[in-house]
């Protein structure tokens, strides 16, 4: 890689459209595709999504849990999917939401962010709720590899409110503390920093937070969860150009047809591009 993740993501969003599609092979979706909920179904699903979308969307986001449930053979499918997607030209954001301290966090970072790892990814989702400083091994590993992180900040699940909206010692919310730390990590980076935040697109009060972190905002919730591309400028304001909406179910439901998956992703990418002005 010749550029840090933030620069590569900005280029991908500008050329392909700001869209992230999940690779979420949960049991019900496998059945909807006419596949068995087994290793063969998992592999067929993953390969089909990569075949259909890796040459056109900015980011693919495999959800690790749906592969881990099949044990080591499921992780082998994940390894192959990550490698195939990256080879085909898309950025891979591995959705593992890892968060721990010390040597354990360093091991998680090595698993997903070391260039020698079979799970090496362009970016990784992480959880800061053992303290933002606990993420330092992942920050260091990402910088060394030219990769990025997406840190949970304002998630759309209702349970997140009790932690993320609570007040820190500074008087700001915990979420705003996380956003401020990300802004510091991204300071001076051009055209975009490599450390993004996860901010739900279904939240009604996102505009109350300072989203000027000079990094991307991964925004789940567009599509099946109710948010639309047209909502993004209102929700994210001046930060809308840096929003990377994640659409999973509303694209994946069109499988296993490769043509239908492509058509759905292309439509979302164009609608989002028009809405946010990218």
CA pair distance 180, 186, nearest whole angstrom:
10
CA pair distance 19, 185, nearest whole angstrom:
24
Handedness of CA 104, 108, 110, 116 (dihedral sign): positive
Q: Which residues are catalytic?
A: 97
Is residue 75 classed exposed, middle or buried when 0-12, 13-18 and 19+ CB atoms within 10 A define those classes? Answer: middle
* DSSP symbols for 11-60: HHHHHH-S-EEEE---HHHHHHTT--SSHHHHHHHHHHHHHHHTTT-SEE
Distant-in-sequence, close-in-space partners of 71: CB < 8 Å, separation ≥ 6: none
Contact present, 74 and 68 (Cβ < 8 Å): yes
CA pair distance 201, 232, nearest whole angstrom:
7
Short-list 278, 255, 275, CA closest to 52: 255
Contact present, 122 and 146 (Cβ < 8 Å): no
CA pair distance 59, 19, nearest whole angstrom:
7
CA pair distance 250, 234, nearest whole angstrom:
22
Q: Give the H or E element holding residue 258.
A: helix 258-276
């Amino acid at each position: 890689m010749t550029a840090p993740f933030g620069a590569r993501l900005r280029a991908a969003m500008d050329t392909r459209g700001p869209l992230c599609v999940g690779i979420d092979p949960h049991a019900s979706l496998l059945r909807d595709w006419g596949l068995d909920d087994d290793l063969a179904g998992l592999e067929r699903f993953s390969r089909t999504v990569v075949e259909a979308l890796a040459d056109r969307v900015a980011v693919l986001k495999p959800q690790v849990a749906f592969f881990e449930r099949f044990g080591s053979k499921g992780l082998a499918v994940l390894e192959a999917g990550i490698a195939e997607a990256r080879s085909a030209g898309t950025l891979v954001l591995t959705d593992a939401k890892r968060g721990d301290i010390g040597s354990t966090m360093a091991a998680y970072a090595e698993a997903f962010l070391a260039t020698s790892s079979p799970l090496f990814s362009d970016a990784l989702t992480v959880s800061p709720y053992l303290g933002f400083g606990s993420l330092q091994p992942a920050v260091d590993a990402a910088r060394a590899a030219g990769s990025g992180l997406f840190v949970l900040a304002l998630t759309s699940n209702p349970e997140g409110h009790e932690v993320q909206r609570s007040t820190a010692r500074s008087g700001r919310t915990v979420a705003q503390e996380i956003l401020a730390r990300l802004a510091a990590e991204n300071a001076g980076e051009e055209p975009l920093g490599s450390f993004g935040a996860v901010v739900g697109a279904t939240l009604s009060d996102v505009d109350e937070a300072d989203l000027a972190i000079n990094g991307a905002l991964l925004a789940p919730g567009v599509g099946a969860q109710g948010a639309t591309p047209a909502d993004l400028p209102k929700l994210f304001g001046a930060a809308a150009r840096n929003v990377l909406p994640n659409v999973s179910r509303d694209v994946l439901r069109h499988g296993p047809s490769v043509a239908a998956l492509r058509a759905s992703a292309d439509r979302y990418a164009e609608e989002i591009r028009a809405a946010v002005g990218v």
